[in-house]
Amino acid sequence: MGSEEFNKVWMPLSGRFYRVAYYILESDSEAQDAVQDLFVRLWKKKDSLGEVNNPLAFGLTMIRNLCLDKVRSVSRSRTVHPEPEVLSGIPASDLISDEGLINRENLARIRDCMARLPEIQRKVLEMRVFENMPYPKIAQLTGLSEINVRVKLSEARKKLKRMTSDEDNR
């Protein structure tokens, strides 16, 4: 794949990649860095990118993984490591950081809760949050009025919040 074809296929997707990165990292500069890192990695793989059937899905998966790696590395660097003499009486299996496991469990729980939302609420939520679509576009695609889209989005967020807090209280 040459630079012209690369620019034609991958560069128009940069906005979507940025939105996903920003959603995960919650920082403009970190999201821009993640997208830049994604494009560097894609460029290094440019010879095998012709085999990719769905560039958007491939790129979104890569950017999500890059962002999650950044989040994990930041959380690991914030972990306080006590002095060795403090740890001498604690089994080694108890010393492994559980933060990565907790993050994966939280993400899986949110995905599970989203899957249990009514289909229209889930679709509206995904379009607005993951694809950053404006309300008129969502209304056009779903056949709902703009006001109804806002209501469905609000209901979806409330249900998701309620479901996740209910699971926390178990």
pLDDT in the model for residue 38: 92
pLDDT in the model for residue 82: 44
pLDDT tens, 48-95?
888 888 989 999 999 999 988 888 877 655 544 444 444 444 444 444
| Domains, the chain | 3-78 (1.10.1740.10), 100-168 (1.10.10.10)
DSSP secondary structure of 28-77: HHHHHHHHHHHHHHHHHTTTTGGG-S-HHHHHHHHHHHHHHHHHHHHHHH
For 1-10, what is the mean pLDDT?
A: 83
For 111-125, what is the mean pLDDT?
A: 86
For 108-137, what is the mean pLDDT?
A: 85
pLDDT tens, 133-154?
889 999 999 899 999 999 998 9
pLDDT in the model for residue 99: 58
Pick from 15, 4, 103: which is nearest to 59 by CA?
15
136 Cβ neighbours under 8 A, 6+ residues apart: 146
pLDDT in the model for residue 98: 55
Q: How many CA atoms lie within 13 A of 104 on its CB side?
A: 8
